[in-house]
Amino acid sequence: MPTLYCLVHGDPVSSVFGIEYDKNMTVDGLRRVIWKEVGAPEHVIAKDLLLYQVNIDLTTQNPQRNVLGNPDANIVTDLGGQLLSPIDNVEEKFPAPVNKHVHIIVDLPTDALPVAARRNDDIIIATLDRIVRNVDRIVQNVDKLDQNVDKLDQNVDRIDKNIEDIKKEKTSVHISGVTEGYWMKIQESLDIDYESTTRKSEFPNLDLDLNNERIDAFRWMDATERSQSDRYKPHLTNILRLGTFRTLGLYDPTGDDSFLSTNTDILPIRLSGTTDVVIVDRHSIASRAQEKHIRVLFELKKAVNRKHTFQTMAELISADLKSKHPVLAVLTDLIDDWNFFWIKGKIIMRLTLSRVEAVALIRHNLTSANNELRDIESSFSEKESSFSEEEPLPKRQKLRHVIATSNVSSDIAPMEDFFDTMNEEEIFRYKAKKLLTRFFSQPIFNGMNDQAE
């Protein structure tokens, strides 16, 4: 038969005694056996005994072991006791009693108070114990709330800073003043790069021989470049044979300093300014929508240097964001320095050609564009259009398409694509709403929402 080790509350540990029990014994029966074992005073009967279930290890030093035997110790709070009901089955309460442990504390009253009164005291003590535990949990929750409030304050500070950043206008830079530093900001923001290439790598089979045609170099005067537009525009028209392309036209945007200005959120800075010459779809000139139909842009310099390459790449980015066509940019002195720039994937390609090769390549692209527009005008009436014979080279892409394919989440155009049609207040409200939505989706607010519901 299994044995339960008992101790009368207040007795020394050396007074522990064992009681054997069977599977049918109730707590009331166990109480009677204990009553006989302890030799209770005459005025104390068996039903006056209160039995508390405990589990106190006598082989180690522990908080309960340290106060065991102390008559002032509280059986419930100090010894972890749970009052047993007389109708409880002993084996169910003690299915596997551990050896060398005290299993039962016997509360032997010195005064024979009614059992109901003593149980009421125990209920009060147990209730107070629960209250104390609840207070501890409340204190812990208050501490957590303080921490969350601190985090909230930090997040509010960050929001205030972000809103101030949003309200501040982006740095506005004139395209002619784009330095390498500004270009690096654009490059990092768009996650693009630039590199040099060769004619053989890009179009090895393209014939750029003009059959000994003479291409004269332009002769610059001492005046500034743009003040000589009445001379270099006829020169370009002549060497490119623009008169043979009835759907294309040369346009001078130098009188419009906002021609290539951007107000898009794609770029980290606002670019403003224009370029020297562009070749556009001819119909766009009459409708005053030239910037939407740029095919080729020319940045003209008396002497080309490294700084001009960053200016031209910035012009390419701005023109590409405005035009419906993939843009080809040309930086040249109209003599022997001809540099081409275009977008290929997430790289801006750079190619240097001789004067004859450069003119031949531009003519090839003008032929391709002219045939494309002629096909559109004729509604593709012929099965095999001339456009298929003249593919635009080098092959190039739109910047928006490159950026979009690197982070596509849906077929819906992002709101940022419409910033050009929105005023500053509308843009600010949209960004602020987006920022606040992100802020209130943080986990700290989820618990608050649950409690509110």
Q: Which residue has the tokens 């290439």?
A: 197
pLDDT score recorded for residue 390: 62
Q: Give me the tens of pLDDT residue by residue for the chain, a chain 453 residues long.
A: 889 999 999 999 999 999 999 888 999 999 999 998 988 777 788 988 999 999 999 999 999 999 998 999 999 999 999 999 999 999 999 999 999 999 999 998 765 444 445 556 667 777 787 888 888 888 888 888 878 878 887 888 787 777 666 555 567 899 999 999 999 999 998 999 999 999 999 999 888 887 888 999 999 999 999 999 999 999 999 999 999 999 999 999 999 999 999 876 788 889 999 999 999 999 999 999 999 999 999 999 999 999 999 999 999 999 999 999 999 999 999 999 999 999 999 999 999 999 999 999 999 999 999 999 888 877 544 544 444 456 677 888 777 666 654 443 334 455 565 666 666 666 666 666 666 665 555 544 444 444 444
Please tell me the distance from the alpha carbon of residue 393 to that of residue 403, in angstroms, as a whole number: 22
Please tell me the distance from the alpha carbon of residue 177 to that of residue 15, in angstroms, as a whole number: 97
Please tell me the distance from the alpha carbon of residue 334 to that of residue 216, in angstroms, as a whole number: 9
Please tell me the distance from the alpha carbon of residue 291 to that of residue 273, in angstroms, as a whole number: 12
Please tell me the distance from the alpha carbon of residue 453 to that of residue 449, in angstroms, as a whole number: 6
pLDDT score recorded for residue 39: 80
pLDDT score recorded for residue 65: 93
Please tell me the distance from the alpha carbon of residue 334 to that of residue 355, in angstroms, as a whole number: 8
How many helical (H) and strand (E) elements, i.e. helices and strands, does the chain have? 13, 14
pLDDT score recorded for residue 405: 46
pLDDT score recorded for residue 379: 59
Q: Using N-to-C axis directions, what is the helix angle for 399-406 and 306-322, rounded to 10°?
A: 80
pLDDT score recorded for residue 406: 46
User: What are the helix (H) ranges across 209-278?
Assistant: 229-239
CATH class of 3-112: alpha beta
Please tell me the distance from the alpha carbon of residue 308 to that of residue 156, in angstroms, as a whole number: 44
pLDDT score recorded for residue 149: 79
Domain boundaries, the chain: 3-112, 172-411
Q: How does DSSP assign 63-113, residue by residue?
A: HHHHHTT-TTS-TTTTT--EEPPTTSBHHHH-SSPPTTEEEEEEE--SS--
pLDDT score recorded for residue 385: 46
Q: Using N-to-C axis directions, what is the helix angle for 180-190 and 306-322, rounded to 10°?
A: 40
Encoding tokens for residue 291? 């910037």
